[in-house]
Protein backbone atom coordinates (compact mmCIF):
# COMPACT_ATOMS: atom_id res chain seq x y z
CA UNK A 1 0.00 0.00 0.00
CA UNK A 2 1.48 3.36 -1.02
CA UNK A 3 1.90 6.18 1.49
CA UNK A 4 -0.78 8.28 -0.24
CA UNK A 5 -3.26 5.37 -0.19
CA UNK A 6 -2.51 4.66 3.48
CA UNK A 7 -2.93 8.36 4.38
CA UNK A 8 -6.29 8.56 2.62
CA UNK A 9 -7.51 5.37 4.32
CA UNK A 10 -6.32 6.62 7.73
CA UNK A 11 -8.07 9.97 7.19
CA UNK A 12 -11.33 8.21 6.31
CA UNK A 13 -11.04 6.05 9.45
CA UNK A 14 -10.36 9.07 11.68
CA UNK A 15 -13.23 11.07 10.19
CA UNK A 16 -15.54 8.09 10.67
CA UNK A 17 -14.34 7.68 14.27
CA UNK A 18 -15.11 11.31 15.02
CA UNK A 19 -18.57 11.07 13.45
CA UNK A 20 -19.33 7.81 15.24
CA UNK A 21 -18.21 9.40 18.52
CA UNK A 22 -20.25 12.55 18.00
CA UNK A 23 -23.51 11.30 16.48
CA UNK A 24 -23.31 7.51 16.83
CA UNK A 25 -22.70 4.68 14.40
CA UNK A 26 -26.39 4.23 13.58
CA UNK A 27 -26.87 7.92 12.78
CA UNK A 28 -23.77 8.19 10.56
CA UNK A 29 -24.13 7.46 6.86
CA UNK A 30 -21.51 6.68 4.24
CA UNK A 31 -22.41 10.02 2.68
CA UNK A 32 -21.70 11.80 6.00
CA UNK A 33 -18.24 10.22 6.09
CA UNK A 34 -17.54 11.13 2.46
CA UNK A 35 -18.62 14.75 2.99
CA UNK A 36 -16.79 15.22 6.31
CA UNK A 37 -13.58 13.80 4.84
CA UNK A 38 -13.93 16.05 1.76
CA UNK A 39 -13.76 12.97 -0.43
CA UNK A 40 -16.35 11.68 -2.83
CA UNK A 41 -18.48 8.62 -2.19
CA UNK A 42 -16.56 6.85 -4.95
CA UNK A 43 -13.30 7.35 -3.02
CA UNK A 44 -14.92 6.13 0.19
CA UNK A 45 -16.24 2.98 -1.53
CA UNK A 46 -12.80 2.36 -3.01
CA UNK A 47 -11.54 1.74 0.53
CA UNK A 48 -14.63 0.41 2.32
CA UNK A 49 -17.63 -1.57 1.08
CA UNK A 50 -19.90 -0.70 3.99
CA UNK A 51 -20.30 1.27 7.19
CA UNK A 52 -19.73 -1.98 9.13
CA UNK A 53 -16.34 -2.32 7.42
CA UNK A 54 -15.43 1.25 8.45
CA UNK A 55 -16.64 0.58 12.00
CA UNK A 56 -14.37 -2.49 12.13
CA UNK A 57 -11.45 -0.40 10.81
CA UNK A 58 -12.09 2.23 13.51
CA UNK A 59 -12.10 -0.47 16.19
CA UNK A 60 -8.90 -2.02 14.77
CA UNK A 61 -7.24 1.40 14.72
CA UNK A 62 -8.08 1.95 18.40
CA UNK A 63 -6.82 -1.53 19.28
CA UNK A 64 -3.56 -0.84 17.43
CA UNK A 65 -3.01 2.20 19.68
CA UNK A 66 -3.61 0.00 22.71
CA UNK A 67 -1.25 -2.70 21.43
CA UNK A 68 1.53 -0.17 20.79
CA UNK A 69 1.27 1.03 24.40
CA UNK A 70 1.25 -2.52 25.79
CA UNK A 71 4.19 -3.54 23.63
CA UNK A 72 6.16 -0.56 24.98
CA UNK A 73 5.49 -1.75 28.55
CA UNK A 74 6.48 -5.34 27.67
CA UNK A 75 9.80 -4.08 26.30
CA UNK A 76 10.70 -2.06 29.41
CA UNK A 77 13.67 -3.09 31.49
CA UNK A 78 11.70 -3.84 34.67
CA UNK A 79 11.37 -6.84 36.98
CA UNK A 80 8.57 -9.11 35.73
CA UNK A 81 6.35 -8.34 38.74
CA UNK A 82 6.52 -4.57 38.17
CA UNK A 83 6.12 -5.02 34.44
CA UNK A 84 2.97 -7.12 34.86
CA UNK A 85 1.38 -4.55 37.20
CA UNK A 86 2.28 -1.72 34.81
CA UNK A 87 0.92 -3.78 31.91
CA UNK A 88 -2.44 -4.18 33.68
CA UNK A 89 -2.62 -0.49 34.62
CA UNK A 90 -1.68 0.66 31.13
CA UNK A 91 -4.20 -1.71 29.60
CA UNK A 92 -7.09 -0.61 31.81
CA UNK A 93 -6.28 3.10 31.45
CA UNK A 94 -5.94 2.85 27.66
CA UNK A 95 -9.24 0.97 27.32
CA UNK A 96 -10.93 3.60 29.49
CA UNK A 97 -9.36 6.41 27.43
CA UNK A 98 -10.46 4.81 24.14
CA UNK A 99 -14.01 4.37 25.39
CA UNK A 100 -14.33 7.91 26.78
CA UNK A 101 -12.61 9.56 23.80
CA UNK A 102 -15.18 8.05 21.53
CA UNK A 103 -18.25 9.68 23.05
CA UNK A 104 -21.46 8.12 21.78
CA UNK A 105 -19.43 5.26 20.36
CA UNK A 106 -19.30 4.08 24.00
CA UNK A 107 -22.93 3.02 23.88
CA UNK A 108 -22.31 1.14 20.64
CA UNK A 109 -19.23 -0.49 22.19
CA UNK A 110 -21.24 -1.86 25.11
CA UNK A 111 -24.37 -2.66 23.06
CA UNK A 112 -22.46 -4.35 20.23
CA UNK A 113 -19.87 -6.15 22.35
CA UNK A 114 -19.97 -9.29 20.18
CA UNK A 115 -19.05 -7.31 17.07
CA UNK A 116 -16.20 -5.67 18.97
CA UNK A 117 -15.11 -9.13 20.18
CA UNK A 118 -14.99 -10.32 16.59
CA UNK A 119 -12.65 -7.47 15.63
CA UNK A 120 -10.56 -8.03 18.78
CA UNK A 121 -9.58 -11.62 17.92
CA UNK A 122 -6.27 -10.66 16.30
CA UNK A 123 -5.48 -8.19 19.08
CA UNK A 124 -6.27 -10.80 21.73
CA UNK A 125 -3.74 -13.26 20.27
CA UNK A 126 -1.03 -10.59 20.21
CA UNK A 127 -1.85 -9.53 23.77
CA UNK A 128 -1.64 -13.13 25.04
CA UNK A 129 1.80 -13.32 23.44
CA UNK A 130 2.94 -10.17 25.29
CA UNK A 131 1.64 -11.50 28.61
CA UNK A 132 3.34 -14.86 28.00
CA UNK A 133 6.61 -13.01 27.35
CA UNK A 134 6.36 -11.24 30.71
CA UNK A 135 5.54 -14.52 32.48
CA UNK A 136 8.42 -16.30 30.73
CA UNK A 137 10.79 -13.55 31.91
CA UNK A 138 9.52 -13.99 35.46
CA UNK A 139 9.99 -17.76 35.31
CA UNK A 140 13.49 -17.36 33.83
CA UNK A 141 14.52 -14.99 36.63
CA UNK A 142 12.95 -17.18 39.34
CA UNK A 143 10.26 -14.64 40.26
CA UNK A 144 7.28 -16.72 39.07
CA UNK A 145 6.66 -20.43 39.46
CA UNK A 146 4.41 -21.29 36.50
CA UNK A 147 4.44 -24.69 34.79
CA UNK A 148 2.51 -23.56 31.67
CA UNK A 149 3.00 -19.88 30.86
CA UNK A 150 0.87 -20.11 27.73
CA UNK A 151 -2.23 -21.31 29.60
CA UNK A 152 -1.60 -18.78 32.38
CA UNK A 153 -1.27 -15.96 29.81
CA UNK A 154 -4.63 -16.92 28.28
CA UNK A 155 -6.27 -16.99 31.73
CA UNK A 156 -4.78 -13.60 32.70
CA UNK A 157 -5.82 -12.12 29.36
CA UNK A 158 -9.44 -13.13 29.96
CA UNK A 159 -9.28 -11.90 33.55
CA UNK A 160 -8.02 -8.51 32.35
CA UNK A 161 -10.83 -8.35 29.78
CA UNK A 162 -13.30 -9.08 32.56
CA UNK A 163 -12.00 -6.07 34.50
CA UNK A 164 -12.57 -3.61 31.63
CA UNK A 165 -16.21 -2.64 32.20
CA UNK A 166 -16.02 -2.51 36.03
CA UNK A 167 -12.86 -0.40 35.75
CA UNK A 168 -14.40 2.00 33.21
CA UNK A 169 -17.44 2.39 35.45
CA UNK A 170 -15.25 3.06 38.50
CA UNK A 171 -16.34 -0.06 40.37
CA UNK A 172 -12.79 -1.33 40.83
CA UNK A 173 -9.69 0.82 41.40
CA UNK A 174 -6.42 0.88 39.51
CA UNK A 175 -3.65 -1.51 40.56
CA UNK A 176 -1.69 1.64 41.50
CA UNK A 177 -4.61 3.40 43.17
CA UNK A 178 -3.88 6.10 45.73
CA UNK A 179 -5.95 3.95 48.10
CA UNK A 180 -3.01 1.68 48.99
CA UNK A 181 -5.11 -0.93 50.78
CA UNK A 182 -7.24 -1.57 47.68
CA UNK A 183 -4.24 -1.45 45.33
CA UNK A 184 -2.21 -3.77 47.59
CA UNK A 185 -5.15 -6.18 47.84
CA UNK A 186 -5.40 -6.35 44.06
CA UNK A 187 -1.67 -6.91 43.61
CA UNK A 188 -1.73 -9.53 46.38
CA UNK A 189 -4.58 -11.34 44.63
CA UNK A 190 -2.69 -11.23 41.33
CA UNK A 191 0.53 -12.68 42.73
CA UNK A 192 -0.67 -14.83 45.62
CA UNK A 193 -4.22 -15.84 44.72
CA UNK A 194 -6.74 -16.90 47.32
CA UNK A 195 -5.07 -18.93 50.04
CA UNK A 196 -6.90 -21.77 51.69
CA UNK A 197 -6.47 -22.13 55.48
Domains (range + CATH), the chain:
54-192 (1.10.357.10)
Rounded distance between C-alpha atoms, residue 164 and residue 80, angstroms? 22
Contact 124, 157 (CB under 8 A): yes
- Return all residues near 44 (Cβ < 8 A) that are at least 6 apart: 12, 30, 33, 34, 37
DSSP letter at 27?
A: T
pLDDT tens, position by position, 125-149: 999 999 999 999 999 999 999 999 9
Global confidence as pTM: 0.82
- pLDDT above 80 for 175: no
Q: How confident is the model at residue 90 (pLDDT cuts 50, 70, 90)?
A: very high
Amino acid sequence: MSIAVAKTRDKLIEVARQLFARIGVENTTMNDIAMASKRGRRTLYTYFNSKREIYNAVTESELNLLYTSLEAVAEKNLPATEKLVEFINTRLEMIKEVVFRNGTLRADFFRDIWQVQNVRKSFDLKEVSLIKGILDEGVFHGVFEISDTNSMAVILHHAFKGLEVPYIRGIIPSFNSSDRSKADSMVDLLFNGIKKK
